[in-house]
Amino acid sequence: MKRCTLLAAAVLASLGLSAQAMPSMQGTALRGEVLEVLSVPTYTYLRLKTKDGEVWAAVPAAAVKKGEQVTLVNAQQMERFESKTLKRKFDKILFASLATGKQPAGHGAAPMTAKPVAKVERAKAADARTVAEVVAGPAALNGKTVTIRGQVVKVSSGIMGKNWIHLQDGSGSSAKGTHDIVVTTKDTTAVGDVINASGTVRTDVNLGSGYVYAVLVEDAKIRR
User: Which range has the worst mean pLDDT, 6-10, 115-119, 156-160, 202-206?
Assistant: 6-10
pLDDT for position 106 = 36
- Residue 132 in contact with residue 94, Cβ under 8 Å? no
Question: Is residue 60's pLDDT more than 90?
Answer: no
User: Each residue of 125-136: b (16+ CB within 10 Å) or e?
Assistant: eeeebbbbbbbe
Contact 77, 92 (CB under 8 A): yes
Q: Give the pLDDT of residue 205.
A: 80
211 pLDDT band (50/70/90 cuts)?
low
Same fold, 2-98 and 131-223: yes
20-24, 189-193, 220-224: range with lowest mean pLDDT: 20-24
- Rounded mean pLDDT, 58-72: 84
As a whole number of Å, the end-to-end CA separation of the chain is 38
Assign domain 2-98 to its CATH superfamily. Nucleic acid-binding proteins (2.40.50.140)
- Rounded mean pLDDT of 35-61? 87
**How does the average pLDDT of the chain come out, rounded?**
79
Instruction: Provide the pLDDT for residue 81.
Output: 85
The answer to whether 177 and 132 have CB atoms below 8 angstroms apart is: no
Give per-residue pLDDT as tens, 108-137: 444 444 467 889 999 999 999 999 999 988
Cα separation, 197 vs 206, in Å, equals 22
Domain boundaries, the chain: 2-98, 131-223
pLDDT category, 36, cuts 50, 70, 90?
A: very high
- What whole-number distance in Å separates Cα of residue 149 and Cα of residue 118? 12
- The pLDDT value recorded for residue 112 is 41
pLDDT greater than 80 at residue 147: yes
Q: What is the reported pTM?
A: 0.55
User: 131-223 has which fold?
Assistant: OB fold (Dihydrolipoamide Acetyltransferase, E2P) (2.40.50)
pLDDT of 26 reads 45
pLDDT band for position 214 (50/70/90)? confident
